[in-house]
A and B are shown apart, each in its own frame.
Chain A
Amino acid sequence: MTSTDQQPFLSVKDLKVHFSTEDGVVKAVDGLSFDLMRGKTLGIVGESGSGKSVTNLTILGLHNPDSTSVEGSIELDGQELNGAPEKTLEHLRGNKMAMIFQDALASLSPYHTIGAQIGEVYRKHKGASKKEARERAVEMLRRVGIPQPESRVDNYPHEFSGGMRQRAMIAMALVCDPELLIADEPTTALDVTVQAQIMDLLKDLQREFGTAIIFITHDLGVIADIADEVLVMYGGRCVERGTKKEVLSSPRHPYTWGLLSSMPSLDGPVDVPLNPIPGSPPSLLNPPSGCRFHPRCAFAEKVDGNRCAKESPVLEITNGRGSACHLTDEQRTEYLADLTAAKHH
């Protein structure tokens, strides 16, 4: 791979984010590491409470510093962000890194026009005049595919449809040509046909500007469409990492197996029960001992000596590929063979 001799654009090392609450300490993210190259997309998959959103809010420095303890290192283009003064972060946010949220209606101000909201970012970071900012807003709206941007720029968010609002948010995030874009479930609230439009748009923009993208989703189908690399999170930890092809075609962690086999597909068998993952996601106030997935894992008993409950499996990454699980490679191969056989019946 050519990317190994290149410096990663974003490098997160052993990130730990803990919140203190009345009930105790919530370990929302517990030792997460990953690198992201320019022009690449990292897909982060996980359920609610897996720590995927917290990770990204922390990268942007949007956590509440009074109740949050952040350990580890977040390096953006060689600059350490953890512990950086708020002024530095403020300068970077919107300028060098930007975020798209899930709910566009809740993330836009209902009292300001779309143009004013997009322009504000540009004026703040680039010191542009009101007129320049407006022109820039029109240009951005055109770039994200809003028809008649000259008149649409004066609309309020409620005058836009759901897909157009999401486009406007993308325009706002991209107004200063950020090099890192964090998209937190940007298409979850959208219909499939609009979702397809938005994903095409993000891919085009990435091709054009070489933006690095972190794409957070719970939908493995979306991952298959947009990601280069995939990181699967469970209970605040990364359980599996690899390229899209590696994770989707030869997954290594029982949680990833569970996610893949629990989803119905458009051409799978009907009238047979789905294979759900039993139980529910863990509480991060009081996470399970050992492997956090072991209470829901069908393979925990196959590992000798109750290791899954006692010993936390180490995530060993070689060439960007790895998983945190006590199963041996033979046991995995055996299971995957069974799975393929089952698929053909």
Chain B
Amino acid sequence: MSSTTPLLDVSGLTKHFPIKGGFPIRRTVGAVQAVDGLDFQVAEGESLGLVGESGCGKSTTGRLITRLLEPTAGKVSYRGQDITHASRKELAPIRSEIQMIFQDPYASLNPRHTVGKIISGPMEINDVNPPGGRENRVRELLEIVGLNPEHYNRFPHEFSGGQRQRIGVARALALEPKLIVADEPVSALDVSIQAQVVNLLQKVQKELGIAFVFIAHDLAIVRHFSQRVAVMYLGKIVEIADREDLYDNPRHPYTRALLSAVPEATVDAAPRERIRLVGDVPSPINPPSGCRFRTRCWKATEKCATEAPPLVQADGNKPGHLTACHYPEMRDTVPAPRLSKDPEAAA
């Protein structure tokens, strides 16, 4: 990281959702530890990918950054300013610089509003009056996202899923943000449409210099879109690195297993190493002690159960490639043992 202040600086970010129970007085009986002590930075104009399986806390992280949720602990700084517990009033100027794109293009647009009203909404709320008027600006935005400016007065139901997602992108761009949190922006779209939207986001990122926190479960799309990638498991970052390092030289066993599980649409290439994880992700209400991945890890020892591995630069890693593992994987080592309950499947 350079010495300049990063655009977004997150340290020790934690969110525990309380579980209430008991009768007649409802008390807090536990907590879902959705996010537990995250540290990462996002530089200006950079795209950071957050990957992980469902329930790993990646969406919660997105909501904490945008302050749609109040963190339990930790700190979120935007351009050096602490916004962790900033009030609505203090947040107002920052909110216009941090925008969000949602997963479901059907649920995230008000069906009773025209496209013009939807996209100019952020400008109305923040009392922004661009030169030439809001309507002009909306038409300009429609053009940027590849929609016909004539569609200003149409309603969301007149558009297809991909076009709706473009409307969502236009809305996010309306206030000229510096940071966009995109939560699974293409996973609800058809395959042939996904590439259109990914290209649009990439164009926006490059031409307008907007930083992205790109949350997705599709590892290939994240690799395509994000310069740096963080892998999350059960509320923690287990590995974070530049995309080349992470995909070519995964050090955390979970990253390696995750990458090996992605089916690839080819029959020509040599069969890749396959690591089959057994079981499911444990409950975040009562996560395993020590390393949270140890219950599914083939390398786990007693140390993993007692000592939580810190997220550090492991031996042989490039600077900025951090791994939270006591026994990091080595590139080109003997393939990890296949974990499969069925010996026949392993044959």
Q: Which of A192, A244, A270, A278 contacts B261 (CB 8 A)?
A: A192
User: A128 in the interface, Cβ–Cβ < 8 Å?
Assistant: no
Residue B305 lies at the interface, judged by CB distance under 8 Å to chain A: no
Considering the complex, which residues of chain A in the window 157-199 have a beta carbon less than 8 Å from any beta carbon of chain B?
161-164, 191-197, 199
B264 within 8 A of A: yes
Contacting residue for B192 out of A164, A249, A277, CB 8 A? A277
A278 to B49 CA separation, bound complex (whole angstroms): 26
* Cα distance, A6 to B190, chains bound together (Å): 37
Q: Mark A247-269, 1 if CB is under 8 A from B, else 0.
A: 01100000000111011111110
For the residues of A in contact with B, the DSSP-based class is helix
Q: How far is the CA of A145 from the CA of B341 in the complex (A)?
A: 8
Q: Residues 142-180 of chain B: 1 if any A CB is under 8 Å from the residue's CB, otherwise 0? A: 000000000000000000111100000000000000000
- Residue contact B195 to A192, C-beta cutoff 8 Å: no
| Separation of A48 and B194 alpha carbons in the complex (Å) | 13
Tell me if B265 and A220 are in contact (CB < 8 A).
Answer: yes
Tell whether, in the assembled complex, residue B190 and residue A281 are in contact, meaning their CB atoms are under 8 Å apart. yes
- The reply on B32 being an interface residue by CB < 8 A is no
A-contacting residues, B184-204, CB 8 Å: 190-196, 198-199, 202-203
Q: Does B87 contact A (CB under 8 A)?
A: no
- Once the chains bind, are A197 and B276 in contact (CB under 8 Å)? yes
Nearest CB on A from B89, distance (A): 40
- Residue tally, chain B, CB below 8 Å to A: 47
Knowing A224-B265, A274-B199, A276-B193 touch, does A193 contact B259 (C-beta < 8 A)? no
One digit per residue, 1 when the CB lies within 8 angstroms of any chain B CB and 0 when it does not, for chain A 220-245 equals 11111100000000000000000011
Q: Which one of B191, B258, B268 contacts A218 once the chains associate, using CB atoms below 8 Å?
A: B191
A192 touches B220 (CB 8 A): no
Distance A263 CA – B261 CA, assembled complex (angstroms): 17
In the complex, the answer to whether A262 meets B217 with C-beta atoms within 8 Å is no
25 cross-chain CB contacts under 8 A: A47-B191, A192-B262, A195-B263, A196-B277, A197-B278, A199-B263, A200-B345, A204-B345, A219-B263, A222-B263, A223-B265, A224-B265, A224-B266, A249-B267, A263-B194, A265-B264, A266-B223, A266-B247, A266-B259, A267-B247, A268-B220, A273-B199, A276-B194, A276-B195, A281-B160
Residues in B neighbouring A260, C-beta threshold 8 A: 265
A213 vs chain B, min Cβ distance (A): 16
Chain B min CB distance to A5 (Å): 26
From B54, B199, B219, B268, contact of A266 by CB (8 A):
B219
Q: Using Cβ atoms and an 8 Å threshold, which residues of chain A touch B199?
A: 273-274, 276
- Which residues on the B side are within 8 Å of A267 (C-beta)? 247
- What residues of chain A lie closer than 8 Å to B345, measured between beta carbons? 200, 203-204
Q: Is the CB of B340 within 8 A of A200?
A: yes
**B280 contacts chain A at the CB level, 8 A cutoff:** yes
> Which residue, of B196, B221, B263, B274, has the highest number of chain A Cβ atoms within 10 A?
B263
Asked if A224 meets B191 with Cβ closer than 8 Å, knowing A162-B54, A192-B217, the reply is no
Total interface residues in chain A, CB < 8 Å: 51
CB distance from A269 to the nearest CB of B (A): 9
Question: Chain A residues with Cβ under 8 A from B54's Cβ?
Answer: 162, 191
The answer, yes or no, to whether B224 is at the interface (CB within 8 Å) is: yes
Chain B residue numbers with a CB within 8 Å of A203 are 345
Instruction: Flag if B192 contacts A224 (CB, 8 Å).
Output: no
**Residue on B nearest A264 in the bound complex, by CB:** B224
Q: Which residue numbers of B lie inside 8 Å of A, CB to CB?
A: 53-54, 160-163, 190-196, 198-199, 202-203, 217, 219-221, 223-224, 243, 247, 257-259, 261-268, 274, 276-278, 280-281, 340-342, 344-345
* A266 contacts B264, C-beta separation under 8 Å: yes
Q: How far is the CB of A321 from chain B (nearest CB, A)?
A: 15
Pick from B53, B191, B224, B344: contact of A191, CB under 8 Å = B53
CA distance A275 to B274 in the complex (A): 29
**Are B198 and A274 neighbours in the complex by a CB distance under 8 Å?**
yes
CB of B261 within 8 A of CB of A259, answer no
Asked whether any CB of chain B lies closer than 8 Å to the CB of A280, the reply is: yes
Residues of B within 8 A of A161 (CB): 280-281
Known: A224-B267, A264-B221. A48 touches B190 (CB 8 A): yes
CB-based contact B262/A262 at 8 Å: no
Q: Do the beta carbons of B53 and A192 come within 8 Å of each other?
A: yes
**B190, A218: Cβ atoms closer than 8 Å:** yes
**A270-B224 CB under 8 A given contacts A48-B190, A280-B160:** yes
Residues in B with CB closer than 8 Å to A264 are 195, 198, 220-221, 223-224
Q: Select from chain B the residue with minimum beta-carbon distance to A147.
A: B279
- Having A221-B265, A259-B191, A296-B192, one finds 12 other A-B pairs with CB under 8 Å, namely A47-B191, A192-B219, A193-B257, A200-B345, A264-B220, A265-B266, A266-B219, A270-B223, A274-B195, A274-B224, A280-B162, A281-B160
Complex: how many Å from CA A267 to CA B264? 10
Shortest Cβ gap from B186 to chain A (Å):
11
Residues B264 and A276 in contact, CB atoms below 8 Å apart: no
The CA of A280 and the CA of B189, in the complex, are separated in Å by: 11
Interface contact B163-A280, CB-CB below 8 Å: yes
Contacts of B194 in A (CB 8 A): 262-263, 276
CB pair A194 B280 closer than 8 Å: yes
Distance (whole angstroms) from the CB of B258 to the closest CB of chain A: 6
CA A47 to CA B190, docked complex, whole Å: 6
A267 to B246, CA, bound (A): 12
**Most B Cβ at <10 Å: residue of A192, A220, A275:** A192
The interface centre, meaning the residue of B264, B340, B345 with most chain A CB atoms within 10 A of its CB, is: B264
User: For B268, what are the chain A residues with a Cβ–Cβ distance below 8 Å?
Assistant: 249
Residue of chain A at shortest CB distance from B56: A191
Point out which of A199, A224, A244 has the most chain B C-beta atoms below 10 A from its C-beta. Answer: A224
Alpha-carbon distance between A244 and B193 when the two chains are bound, in angstroms: 23
Which residues on B sit within 8 Å (CB–CB) of A278?
196
- The A125-181 residues at the B interface (CB cut-off 8 A) are 145, 161-164
Residue of B nearest to A275 (CB): B195
User: Shortest Cβ distance from A294 into chain B, in angstroms?
Assistant: 15
Pick the contact of A224: B217, B220, B264 (CB < 8 A): B264
Closest CB of chain A to B197's CB: distance in Å? 8
With a CB–CB cut-off of 8 A, which chain A residues contact B203? 273
